[in-house]
Structure 1
Amino acid sequence: MDNFVDLYCERTAAGFWNEPVNALTNLAFIIAALIAWPAAWRRPERSAIELTVIALVAAIGVGSFLFHTLATPLSGAADVIPIWLFFFAYILLIFIRITGGKTFDIIGYMVATLFGFVAVVYLVGLTSRDGAPLNGSLQYAPALIAMALASAIAAFRGHPVWRYFAGATAIFIMSLTFRSLDQASCVMTGGLGTHFLWHILNATVLGILLLGTVRAMPPTLQIHPQKK
């Protein structure tokens, strides 16, 4: 294992347990999924896409654990792929709920989202030509923008899910901050870094988003503008 991937402060050499804190804090994603799963599973209007989204949160924890233990390019893919699968699956779930499952409306929203995603990724790429600013955290700019917009739209329409979205957005900003400071804080934290806080806070973010859809946006409920 000579060609290991070394991206975070805690890793100092090759070895399965060279990032024990970064590895073990991925349990937070499993816990988030386990909290949301029973509520989604027990109700009569069980939703396959909703259960898939919850399962993807658990997959994020597994993939990240593999990356912080194996530290190989392949395990790096196992880390990243579930994250972006969750991103698009969760957005699809939201669009299904707000349109009442109308296919053409869902397609329109998803196409608009993809265009927006590509545009943000392109702009992030322009700022990252000379390296990886903020320790590579700019790659999550599309997720932050999408969460902020969802919070604003839900609040404008008077839907109670806005509290979940807004809370998740605020915590996600803190999460990204700790991810960005990992290398810069290495000496100050005695070689531990702050990436493990990204895991814990990000799992909290995903848990809040899951509970928001399960509790405030059940399959039979759509978002309507607030009545005056």
Structure 2
Amino acid sequence: MAWTDYIDDYCERTEPGLLAEPLNALSNLAFIIAAVALWLAVRRTAPARPGSLYVLAVLLALIGLGSGAFHTIATGWAQFLDVFFIAVFIHVYVVCFLHWFLGVRWSLAWLGAPGFALFNALMAWITGGEGSASYFPAIIGLAAFTIVLSASKDPALVRYRLWFGAATGAFAVSLTLRSVDLAVCPTFTPGTHFLWHSFNACVLYLVGRAAVVRARELTPEV
């Protein structure tokens, strides 16, 4: 597929044009709203303002912009931006989780990014990595985070299982909505992909805000 090829993958799009997916495009505002809310939450983190958390807020906004570009311009390069910023957020969050929740120092926590990339490649080899299957590693990762926190002997960590459990459940709903988009097309012409955006914005805000609250607990010790 060339960078400029036209892509029509979603129920709502029936023809080329910037406004051919109004709900899919506008629903990306949820990511922008979540990014602003997360940024403001980081600003309130005292006495320090951890840069890694600001990075999460910026990446959350870029997800909205990348996805917005894809659902308006609908070309190969726009699709790349859509997928790229989501992937970067996920890998950076793995690093942040290792540091803020498990106490791994940054120099070692960054090994989590290539580690997750290898896991992602393995899952892509097993499942084919197409469509919604490409997000299986993400939901497995969220579930794993929930289990790790639930099994912790530190009561301060155990309480975060509710944050990640809720994020895992919301992402399961989100992934289902993404998967049934084309199937519901005959009876619900807008499709369900716009709801995928809305739920995902909530998921990413939840995990981002959990990291902010945890950092506030640890600052300035960490």
Q: What is the TM-score of this pair, normalised by structure 2?
A: 0.88
Matched, 1:206 2:204: yes
Question: What is the rounded CA distance, in whole Å, between the counterparts of 1:20 and 1:105 in structure 2?
Answer: 43
Aligned pairs for 1:141-180 within 5 A:
141-157=136-152, 158=155, 159=157, 160-180=159-179
Aligned residue number for residue 29 of structure 1:
31
Structure-1 separation of matches of 2:49 and 2:206: 19
Match of 1:6 in 2: 8
User: Contact 1:45–1:219 (CA<8 Å) still a contact in 2?
Assistant: no
Instruction: Mark the CA change 1:198 to 1:67 in structure 2 (over 3 Å): closer, same or farther.
Output: same
Tell me how far 1:219 sits from its aligned partner.
7.0
Identity of aligned residues (%): 35
- 2:182 aligns to what? 183
Superposed CA deviations along residues 130-162 of structure 1, whole A, max 9, x for unmatched, are xx5xxx100001100100000011111141221
Question: Residue 73 and residue 108 in structure 1: after superposition, are their counterparts in 2 closer, same or farther (change >3 A)?
Answer: closer
**Deviation by residue 1:14-47 (Cα, 9 ceiling, x = unmatched):** 1000000100000000111111111212322211
Tell me: CA distance 1:103–1:89, structure 2 relative to 1, closer, same or farther (3 Å): closer
CA RMSD in angstroms, aligned pairs only:
2.0
Give the letter aligned to residue 65 of structure 2. V
For residues 82-112 of structure 1, the C-alpha deviation after alignment (integer angstroms, 9 at most, x for no partner) is 0000000111111122454525542554454
The 1:91–1:181 alpha-carbon spacing in structure 2 relative to 1, beyond 3 Å, is: same
**Conserved? CA contact 1:172–1:205, under 8 Å:** yes
TM-score normalized by structure 1?
0.86
Alignment of 1:207-222 (within 5 A): 207-218=205-216, 220=218
In the TM superposition, structure 1's runs of 4+ consecutive aligned residues that sit over 6 Å from their partners are none
Q: Distance between the aligned counterparts of 1:165 and 1:195, measured in 2?
A: 23
Provide the aligned length of Structure 1 versus Structure 2: 212
Q: Aligned in 2, Cα 1:22/1:156: closer, same or farther, shift over 3 Å?
A: same
Q: Residue 120 of structure 2 aligns with which residue?
A: 117
Aligned partner of residue 140 in structure 2, secondary structure: helix
Stretches of structure 1 that go unaligned for 5 or more consecutive residues are 222-228
Q: 2:54 matched to 1:59?
A: no
